[in-house]
Chain A
């Protein structure tokens, strides 16, 4: 289990996080076991692991939608002071796997939801929303309803919605899991482009090794079974934009595959 030595520019730190779910029949299911990780400012961290390894739960704990049974999660604010994470809030933005757009609102309505909730005047909300809709490349679709959009477009709206709220951290929970392979590659490229245009601290959860290597500055590999533990942490120092067929890319890919403990 490898962890990062704390340095002053740590944005998020999870320390010894444990999570046990209590099922209906009073049965206890341990989901996370002593997980610690730290994320630097403006770093693109990827949590990689196969299905059912607790990575989504870890993300939800950081988001504040679940509480750890033991352990702490701290977030450093703009002032540099770290405070504990208590419940969900607009300082962390979450992009959901199932898009979760409000079906009764247009694209514009969805994206400007965050600023509206914070009480900003209508005109400003709309401008912020339009700016981020343009960033994700959906100009011209402001008045469309979610059911009129394709999967990739819906996820871009989800990303724009989180961006519009100016969170300190962006959390993405397997956002491209429901897309077909080619759209997925396109979305990975878009994500890299968007993130380079407006850098934020990002925690990205995925089960796709290529995706992790393409996007991440650091990859946290989780073990392939419950309870979830951190297996290794890999640094990826390849220059952007990355090539899927680069020698170093493929070498790292093979390393991860060899290290994974998955068996059929």
Chain B
């Protein structure tokens, strides 16, 4: 009798091999396409050239003026500063907006005006105010992380179980007590969700800020690669941006899991 739903105790061998085959084929195809000249070397760099440049940049300052680690470190610093600032401002603001009518009434119009404007659009204005340098970039990154923090914190507080709120009132708790001891813990899962989202937003905006106005950092390296017509530097920059972002994301995820170990999502 043929079963309608098979109990899949073992994954077929094909499914285990296919991912490896797929990725390997991708890199081989990429290498092949560049080496044989189907795509000219001015437009795309082979994986081997990118790898070579990677090793080179770890110890060579040329041709863009800094080591790879220095670029990466600058970017990480900027990103984290902006990120933590946006957490520090966005989350309390969102929590307050969710509970206190005063806070929402005063903050929401300004928030709704600022919200549809992508942080990238602020770059020229930031250059007016801060010039090309660190404070401007941190401002853009901060803007990027602000919106998801506020929204998630707000929704987190709004989703507090109303029955629990009513119960707290029957115990005679004041508004502030309910906020501190009920709403904030209830909102924690959503807030932790915001951590990851805000990080992704901050990281994206970092690259944007560095593409346009910077003298160091991974985004700057990408732009230099384009100006010097060195696609391997562009690709190296892209890969480093992606890799660093992914690693930071994993770290944040681990930290979050440890902190939330007791609370069930």
Contacts and interface: CB of A to CB of B under 8 A. Distances in A.
- Find out whether A and B make contact in their complex, taking CB atoms under 8 A apart as touching: yes
Interface of A: 22, 26, 64-67, 84, 86-88
A49 to B, nearest CB: 24
A17 to B, nearest CB: 13
A64 B2 CA distance: 11
Nearest to A85: B1
A88 B1 CA distance: 13
B9 A67 contact: no
B4 interface: yes
Contacts, number: 16
A interface majority secondary structure:
loop
A65 B1 contact: no
Contact of A86 (B1, B5, B7, B9): B1
Interface in B1-31: 1-5, 7, 9
A25 to B, nearest CB: 11
Contacts of B3: 67
A67 B6 CA distance: 10
Nearest to A67: B3
Contact of A84 (B1, B4, B5, B7): B1
B5 A65 contact: yes
A66 B3 CA distance: 8
Contacts of A86: 1-2
Nearest to B9: A22
B interface majority secondary structure:
loop
B6 to A, nearest CB: 10
Contacts of B2: 86-87
A64 B9 CA distance: 21
B217 to A, nearest CB: 46
A67 B5 CA distance: 8
B51 to A, nearest CB: 40
Range, interface on chain B: under 10
A95 B7 CA distance: 24
B7 A88 contact: no
A88 B9 contact: no
For A67, A84, A88, the residue with the greatest tally of chain B CB atoms inside 10 Å of its CB is A67
Nearest to B7: A22
A72 to B, nearest CB: 9
A32 to B, nearest CB: 16
Contacts of A22: 7, 9
Nearest to A87: B4
Contacts of B1: 67, 84, 86
9 contacts: A22-B7, A65-B4, A66-B5, A67-B3, A67-B4, A84-B1, A86-B1, A86-B2, A87-B2
A67 B1 CA distance: 9
A47 B193 CA distance: 45
Interface in B152-194: none
A91 to B, nearest CB: 15
Contacts of B4: 64-65, 67, 87-88
Nearest to A86: B1
For B1, B7, B9, the residue with the greatest tally of chain A CB atoms inside 10 Å of its CB is B1
B86 to A, nearest CB: 37
The 7 closest A-B pairs by CB, nearest first: A87-B4, A67-B3, A22-B7, A86-B1, A67-B1, A88-B4, A64-B4
Given A67-B1, A87-B4, 14 more contacts: A22-B7, A22-B9, A26-B9, A64-B4, A65-B4, A65-B5, A66-B5, A67-B3, A67-B4, A84-B1, A86-B1, A86-B2, A87-B2, A88-B4
A26 B10 CA distance: 11
A87 B4 CA distance: 5
A87 to B, nearest CB: 4
Nearest to B6: A67
A87 B5 CA distance: 9
For B4, B5, B9, the residue with the greatest tally of chain A CB atoms inside 10 Å of its CB is B4
A22 B5 CA distance: 13
Contacts of B5: 65-66
A67 B7 CA distance: 11
A26 B1 CA distance: 22
Contacts of A84: 1
A84 B9 CA distance: 26
Contacts of A64: 4
